[in-house]
Amino acid sequence: MPSRIVCKGTAAAIAARRIRTILVTLSSKGEWARLAKGHNVQSKFINTSTGDTVKIGDLSYQLKKPRRPELVPINHMMDALPQTVARHLRWIMQKDLLGQDVFLIGPPGPLRRSIAMQYLELTKREVEYVALTRDTTETDLKQRREIKAGTAFYVDQVAGCESVLGSLC
């Protein structure tokens, strides 16, 4: 599946560019200028004395070094984010800074996962994917039984490890 929501050259990208052009021409009308400006996601990290910071609009997030950098998503951020995606990323950052949970709902398709991956890439956070089916039980999410040399032992699964470490899954 493509990692970008609006690919360059598609009808949606062309329509977004046209709307942006119209809003810029109407920018002298005050409210239209505010709408055209919207939330700015700074793709360049701000380097401070305490480390890197990511800003979305008026919110800023202090980046932390990931424990397992191989689990940080890459190539999900777009050069020019659509306004709706920037608003979603700002909302997720706001919830994250408050320590609240985020549950994305929407129509079928890759949009929710793409927004989540973009936020995780932007904030350099690890992610692990857990596939759920109707046959998945609570025990499947916590531990898995393995047998080695005739001895049975339990190994923590992704959800169990991540809840102990405080990561996302």
3-class DSSP string for 89-103 = HHHHHHHHHHCCCCC
User: Both tokens of residue 12?
Assistant: 């949606």
Mean pLDDT of 142-164: 75
pLDDT digits 0-9 by tens, 93-147:
999 999 998 999 989 899 999 999 999 999 999 888 777 889 888 877 777 778 8
57: left (phi over 0), alpha (psi -120 to 50) or beta: left
User: Could you tell me where the DSSP H helices lie in the chain?
Assistant: 11-25, 31-37, 83-98, 111-122, 138-142, 158-165
User: CA–CA distance from 76 to each of 49, 92, 132 (Å)?
Assistant: 28, 16, 23
Q: Give the residue among 82, 92, 101 at the shortest CA–CA distance from 38.
A: 82
| Domain regions of the chain by residue span | 11-127, 133-169
Span 57-89, pLDDT tens digits: 888 888 888 888 888 898 888 878 888 888 999
